[in-house]
Amino acid sequence: MTKMTLGSYPHMLGFEQLEQLLERTAKSGNEGYPPFNIEQTSDASYRITLAVAGFSEDTLSITVEDRQLVIRGRARDDSHERVFLHRGIAARQFQRSFVLAEGVEVGEAVMENGLLHVDLTLHKPETVVQTIQIRKG
């Protein structure tokens, strides 16, 4: 079976970058940790919420890299200071990536009760109608 690409569709011009984003997202290695929600908070805004119990603001980083929102957490190794009889709260390092559409901007990030909230806003471009003149050759 041959792999269909966006280049296989002759009416879709200039979408090669979108195809690369889709492939990169599929390979990003996002596991199930940490769990997250994505909610639509208005017609043009969204909120991503990650459950980051055990992390603090200084052990988390949020960056936008090539139209990808990347949230990383690095766990502190405090196991030498404490003796655990049972350790069921995961606090391992993680990286979560979210592909951002054109016009999506990352707003503020807030930590609240073990949850990291990241707000996104979608700025829809204005519709532009352009008339192309035809000249005689």
Q: What is the pLDDT of residues 11-58, one digit of tens each?
A: 777 777 777 766 766 665 556 889 999 999 999 999 999 999 889 999
pLDDT value of residue 67: 86
The pLDDT of 81-90, averaged and rounded, is: 81
Is 84 among the domain residues? yes
100-118 residue pLDDT tens: 988 999 999 999 999 999 9
Residues 100 and 90 in one domain: yes
State which H helix or E strand residue 46 sits in: strand 45-51
CA dist., res. 74 & res. 1, Å (int): 41
Handedness of CA 33, 61, 47, 49 (dihedral sign): positive
Entry pTM:
0.72
The pLDDT of 71-91, averaged and rounded, is: 80
Residues 62 and 1 in one domain: no
Domain housing 2: 1-30
CATH number of the domain enclosing 46: 2.60.40.790
What backbone phi and psi angles, to 5 degrees, belong to 90? -75, 135
